[in-house]
Amino acid sequence: MVRQCVILVGGLGTRLGELTKSVPKPMLPVNGRPFVEILIEEAARFGFDRIVLLAGYLGGQVVEHCAGHRRIAGREIDVRVILEPEPAGTGGALTFLRDVAEEEFLLMNGDSWFDLDLREFATVEPGTAPFLLRMALRPVADASRFGTVALEDGRVRAFLPRGTAAGGVMNAGIYLVRRALLDRITVKPCSLEGDIFPVLADEGLIEGRERDAFLIDIGVPADYAAAPELLARHRTRPAVFFDRDGVLNHDEGYTHRPDDLVWLPGARETIRQVNRMGWYAFVVTNQGGIARGLYGIKDAEAFHARMSEDLAAMGAHIDEFRLSPYHPEGVVPEFARMSDCRKPNPGMLLDLAAAWPVDMARSLMFGDVQTDMQAAAAAGVRGVLHPDGNLLERLEGALKG
Ligand SMILES: [Mg+2]
């Protein structure tokens, strides 16, 4: 499972004039926080927990604000900032990755957001023809403003300057990179778009993946001005809240060892379907076994990490896992009580709705017992009881009715 995400945050932002005189473009505020924070949060929800920011211009601000360990999307996220000693271009910047790059990593521009399922994008199916770079592409109706790419049989063959084609697909600024690409960068400064991509395209080493999704480039003044409203709108999605034991995995009673994970029929396929719908997929699980001293929070998190690995193999993901370690009859003092976050109370759902822009009115909760339904109702979410059977059929039924 690809877990590293590299974000290019070194650009000068010349199109924004005064705005970027004292603040690097990816650090410009959108809805009260730096734009790059939104990109980090997006990467985190798809399970990318090792983030590398390649900084240059005014990079000290990036270090000060972003570097370090943080908990985002219920995961431990490591954010490392590498400062380029001198401007080396988008390609040259990648050479500073040589000591840290993993075999495959996600690469994205720090000044734009393309609403892509990053986990699906970073999953390479067995039998895929070799590539050094997978490029996310977006259809454009009017190619007078954007350069386009010539795409043949899923391969990018050439890059066309703006105005040469009536329409087509454009580079959306997100890539899955094989580490071997770094060996192709031999001179600095070097531009990925200008120097590296055309050569790789010639050799047939760029796979193109077309997605018709929302894209915003805050380097364009009009886009930056509209960013608060557009980002809030496009990131607001319904969610499916999944109870875990008895809905997603076989419930042994206090199941917590990763090796005991047995997926129930249709569970993984349902999560993948929820991902493809563009909805959030959350897990909300009572883990009273922690209060009872049977296992610890770290054990439950290891179980969730195994679930994420299994899901990633099929290009699916859970955006965030929430667990409640409480139980009124527990023996571990700090958890031996009832809590707003123990179902049938709605705390876990409400906390997720506070942490993410969730359209609760259209959201669903799947559970196998009445306490799940009570939690859903108390959170204002439609509960769907799933005592047994195939979960994907249950989802299809729930979406109809
Ligand atoms: Mg259950």
pLDDT tens profile 289-298: 999 999 999 9
At 258 the pLDDT is: 97
Kindly tell me if the per-residue pLDDT of 14 is higher than 80.
Answer: no
What is the average per-residue pLDDT within 215-227? Answer: 92
What is the average per-residue pLDDT within 104-130? Answer: 96
Q: How far is the CA of 294 from the centre of ligand 1 (A)?
A: 18
Strands of the sheet with 382-385, listed across from one edge: 320-324, 280-286, 239-242, 364-367, 382-385
At 12 the pLDDT is: 67
Instruction: Point out the residues that are catalytic.
Output: 243, 245
pLDDT tens-place string over residues 25-37: 899 999 999 999 9
Q: How far is the CA of 251 from the centre of ligand 1 (A)?
A: 7
What is the average per-residue pLDDT within 145-153? Answer: 90
Q: How far is the CA of 263 from the centre of ligand 1 (A)?
A: 13
d(CA 131, CA 145): 28
At 255 the pLDDT is: 95
- Architecture of the 239-400 domain: 3-Layer(aba) Sandwich (3.40)
Selecting from 1.10.10.10, 3.40.630.10, 3.30.2270.10, 3.90.550.10, what CATH number does the domain 4-234 have?
3.90.550.10
Q: How far is the CA of 123 from the centre of ligand 1 (A)?
A: 29
> Per-domain residue ranges for the chain?
4-234, 239-400
Q: How far is the CA of 327 from the centre of ligand 1 (A)?
A: 15
**Mean confidence (pLDDT) of the chain:** 95
Which amino acid would we find at residue 382? R
Confidence of residue 85 (pLDDT cuts 50, 70, 90): confident
